[in-house]
């Protein structure tokens, strides 16, 4: 897992909870990071600077448990909610919503680094590309031999 420990340590040392929240959210929003990295960053903050966390407040942006109501707009509303209500409940919900939207094929929630299925798909695409290249190369050689042997 790749967490920005140096950045977090600096924000923690400066006692800047808003900066800590921004850093953790940046890991969550970064499609090159795994969800596990985002959770690890949150856990690190919780261990090192628990004062940066707040208790869950449902007033402004309540959490909806019904997945059929989860959408990209709902995710972004919850993301805004996390910026002023940086708590484990909201963070874990945001991760769950992101994973759900990814599983539903929402374009902006493509597979993340570290995701097993994504790595398997990447290897399969790479293998297919190699096979395709070999087949095309062989066809060119066969065609060239046929043309020049007459």
> pLDDT over 90 for what percent of the chain?
63
CA torsion sign for 4, 95, 31, 79 is negative
Measured between alpha carbons, how far is 16 from 52 in angstroms, rounded to an integer? 8
135's CB contacts (< 8 A; 6+ apart) are none
Provide the residue ranges of all domains of the chain, joining segments of one domain with +. Answer: 5-112, 115-150
Average pLDDT value over all residues in the chain: 84
Query: Is residue 88 a contact partner of residue 122, using CB atoms and an 8 Å limit?
Result: no
Tell me: pLDDT of 136 over 70: no
Most confident of 78-92, 101-115, 123-137: 78-92
């Amino acid at each position: 897992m790749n967490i920005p420990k140096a950045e977090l340590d600096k924000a923690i040392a400066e006692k800047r909870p808003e900066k800590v929240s921004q850093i953790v959210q940046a890991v969550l929003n970064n499609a090159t990071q795994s969800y596990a990295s985002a959770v690890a960053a949150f856990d690190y903050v919780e261990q090192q600077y628990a004062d940066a966390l707040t208790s869950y407040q449902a007033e402004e942006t309540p959490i909806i448990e019904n997945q059929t109501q989860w959408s990209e707009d709902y995710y972004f509303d919850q993301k805004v909610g996390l910026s002023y209500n940086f708590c484990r409940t909201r963070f874990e919900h945001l991760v769950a919503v992101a994973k759900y939207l990814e599983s539903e094929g929402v374009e902006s929630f493509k597979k993340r680094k570290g995701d097993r299925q994504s790595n398997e798909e990447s290897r399969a695409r790479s293998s297919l590309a190699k096979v395709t290249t070999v087949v095309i190369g062989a066809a060119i050689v066969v065609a060239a031999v046929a043309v020049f042997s007459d």
